[in-house]
Amino acid sequence: MAGSVLKRVRARLATEAGAPDPRQRQYAVLVAVAVVGATALGWIFDLHTPGIVAGVTAVFALVATSGQALRSDLHRFVWFTPALALVMTLGPVLSNVPVLAGIAVASVVFGAGMLPAMGEHYRVGGQTLAAATLFSTTTGIGSDQSVLVLLASSVAGVAFALLLRVLVGLGDPTRATRIAVAGTLLEPGPGVVELAASAWRADGASTWLGQVLAGAARFRAARETLLAQAQQVGRLEAERLREIVAEADRVAAQLAIAVRSRACSGLPASARLDPAEVVLRRGGRQDLPDAARGLNQGLDRIRAAVVERDETPATPPAPGGRRERAMGAVRAHLSMRSSLFRHALRCTLAVGVGMVIVLLLNDPSESGLLLALYVVLQPAARDSMNGALERTGGAVLGVVALAALITLLPGAYLLVPLVVAAMLVNIDRLRTDYRTLLGALIVITVVDQAMQLDRPLVNVAISFAANSAIGAAIALSVGYVSYLVLPSSALPDVRGAIRSTVWSVSELLRSVRAAGQGANLRQALHSAHVLAMRRTQDLLGMPALLDGNDEETEDERVTRDAAVALDALRQDVATLAFRPETERAIAVPALRAVDDLLAGKTSAKIPDVAENTAPATELLASSLVENALHARAAIDRTFGYDSPWKSYTISFVRPERLHIK
């Protein structure tokens, strides 16, 4: 056990190559010194509560604002931390005014449930703010402090988080962006280019990384095309095509190393190979499909960009795109037809009932009730109640074990600084696993309140366990009743959902294609985007409805693949809609090819996309093709076709009028 922990710590403090990372070591040392110093000051001057507020605020700030390049993280830091400091300051004060506390908690929980429609970082930020609101308003930590002390503590936590983020990122501020872009050469599957492109745009959209992304998108589209064609030909030809893909992956892995590096004066010979030529030299047929040439065209684009490294910004998008997307998200999901809206409403109803129970109990040991409730609800799961029973048992048993540990362990209060330190050095884990974040907050709350209660610790343990069970029961009850009242998907129709999603994405695609050819379809384009956003979000929530087991079934995997691919395709088309009009025509051939794929055509080929003109639009054009191929493959598996790409077409019937209510 100790060896495993030590190994994990060493990996955390090392670079990707395995060498010691001085920035991570400085980060870990600074966290250790700060936690030890805050613990000592809290013990000497009786400032343990301000210390907890400051430490937890720093954790929240880092979870919500880190993960990309220093520039984009600081931008999020500027707009997120004032709201966080306000919540951490006023939350304990509002706990004395139940009506205001209930309104604040319900508003933040509902908003956090809706934010996933805006993107990954909005989802993380919303969930983090919801956790901060529950922690500050309902746990009672800080309610005995003045507003000025709470404000000073939260500001100190924000300042410490800023220091940690700058310390890690100042030496190499664009490192995270380069790693994200390099990942497009290593990670197959849908959605990878979209995440990397988002990080690239947020970091200033330098031309050379845009060229790398454009080349990587073309490489990935050609790669998926070859794999699709391998399913349509004989065994020997299929093996040859897969050999070309395998060689291309090896070359791409070498280029990814060059992309990640801060500078590049030249490329090794293994990164300059033509993968198709390597396979041709082994003998066999000497003719090549167009997609094989597309592989090397994409790799050549990357090779040139990596060496030249033009840091000037690429062409910016057309103005108004962010506002239009935000308004579209509101229209798409502020409706009972949206599973995202239904789940946000379900969370809000459950939290409201929990707030009433908390007021009726009027017992400090109920401080973890709402956090336990929120763990069971799992805000990212949309319509799903699967696994809620397992999370209920886990939450209650965890609190029982923790209370027993507090009862038996001398100096149990030291668990609080240890947990805060562990959270600070595992920010990446907390960002991706919301249950771990909420579980750590429950630990801090239970330990702090248990050490302050003037009762036998055995009774305290029983009280905390009982109140956690009450919170979990509320979540289960409200969730079950909401299925009976709210329009839901208790019996999911996977095929019908995929048909309607494909149709909505196709409508959006055709609208953008017509706009790229000069048609004025502003209202139709907006309506199509609203419907496509709702359909893809609903489909993303459907895998959780299919099975209650922790292990992912084949149906869940296939449905998830289709959902991710179609959502990535929708993101590409929506982003393309707000590129300058002079560039949109570049993507028309790709839009036409994608339309054919979604309509059931059996041919998979690389469309002609102009190069070296607009990397931001070129990467979208190639990414469209890749995501359409992923979507088509997942659709084939969903519908149970044994011979994909051969003798059938899929008929997607228009399921409804293009009218958004």
CB 186 within 8 A of CB 220: no
Reduced to 3 states (helix: H, G, I; strand: E, B; else coil), residue 161 is helix
Verify that 145 and 184 share a domain, yes or no.
no
Query: 256 versus 534: which is more confidently predicted?
Result: 256
∠ at Cα 329 (323, 332), nearest 5°? 140
pLDDT at residue 50 tops 90: yes
Judged by DSSP in three states, 270 sits in: helix
Burial of 154 (0-12, 13-18, 19+ CB in 10 A): buried
Residue 86 lies in a domain: yes
Q: Percentage of the chain surpassing pLDDT 90?
A: 29
The larger pLDDT score, comparing residue 285 to residue 532, is at 532
User: Is the pLDDT assigned to residue 38 strictly greater than 60?
Assistant: yes
Judge whether 328 lies within some domain. no
Give me the chain's average pLDDT, please: 82
| Same-domain pairing of 126 and 182 | no
Do residues 155 and 195 share a domain?
no
Same domain? 117 vs 202: no
Instruction: Tell which wins on pLDDT, 268 or 328.
Output: 268
Which of residues 544 and 382 earns the better pLDDT score? 544
Q: Are 63 and 161 in contact (CB under 8 A)?
A: no
325 within some domain = no
Mean pLDDT of 110-129: 88
DSSP 20: B
If you average pLDDT over residues 444-453, what whole number do you get? 82
Say yes or no: 459 and 524 in one domain: no
314 lies in some domain: no
Within a domain: 81: yes
pLDDT band at 386 (very low <50, low <70, confident <90, very high): low
Residues 397, 509, single domain; the answer is: no
Cβ-proximal residues to 229 (8 Å cutoff; 6+ apart), any chain: 241, 289, 291, 604
pLDDT of res. 649: 43
Q: Identify whether the C-beta of residue 377 lies closer than 8 Å to the C-beta of residue 346.
A: yes
Domain count of the fold of the chain: 3
In a shared domain, residues 71 and 156:
yes
Quote the pLDDT of residue 642: 56
Domain boundary among 458, 485, 512: 485
Residue 485 has pLDDT above 70, yes or no: no
Tell me if 547 sits within 8 A of 563, measured CB to CB: no
**pLDDT tens string 310-356:** 888 888 877 766 777 778 878 888 877 777 888 888 888 888 888 88
Domain end marker among 485, 520, 541: 485
Residue 634 lies in a domain: yes
Q: Are the C-beta atoms of residues 131 and 441 closer than 8 Å to each other?
A: yes
Q: What is the DSSP letter of 206?
A: B
Please indicate, yes or no, whether residues 71 and 186 belong to a single structural domain of this protein. Answer: no
User: Distances in Å between the alpha carbon of 633 and those of 206, 467, 629?
Assistant: 33, 48, 6
Burial class (CB in 10 A: 0-12, 13-18, 19+), 579: buried
Place of tokens 């990122």: 169
Tokens of 2: 């100790």
**Tokens 């839901």 — which residue?**
488
Same domain? 141 vs 263: no
Please tell me what DSSP assigns to residue 19: S
The residues pairing with 658 across neighbouring beta strands, listed in sequence order, are none
Could you tell me if 436 and 473 lie in one domain?
A: yes
In this model, does residue 189 exceed pLDDT 70?
A: yes
Instruction: Say whether both 92 and 113 belong to one domain.
Output: yes
First-residue to last-residue Cα distance in the chain: 56
Residue 659 pLDDT > 50: no
Ranked by mean pLDDT, which of 96-105, 108-117, 205-214, 555-564 comes out on top? 205-214
Last residue of a domain, one of 446, 463, 485: 485
Angle of helix 522-541 versus helix 554-576 axis, rounded to 10: 160
- 263/135 same-domain check: no
Query: Residue 20's beta-bridge partner residues?
Result: 14
Q: Which of residues 215 and 229 earns the better pLDDT score? A: 215
Range with the largest mean pLDDT of 276-290, 592-606, 611-625, 637-651: 611-625
How sure is the predictor about 383, in pLDDT bands with cuts at 50, 70 and 90? very low
Model confidence band, residue 11 (pLDDT cutoffs 50, 70, 90)? low
Domain span at residue 631? 489-605+612-641
Nearest C-alpha neighbor of 126 from the set 333, 278, 384: 333
The CA distance from 141 to 434, in Å, is 21
* 133, 361, 399, 400 from 365: Cα distances, Å: 18, 9, 11, 13
**327 domain residue, yes or no:** no
Q: Specify whether the CB–CB gap between 370 and 136 falls below 8 A.
A: no
In a domain, 656, yes or no: no
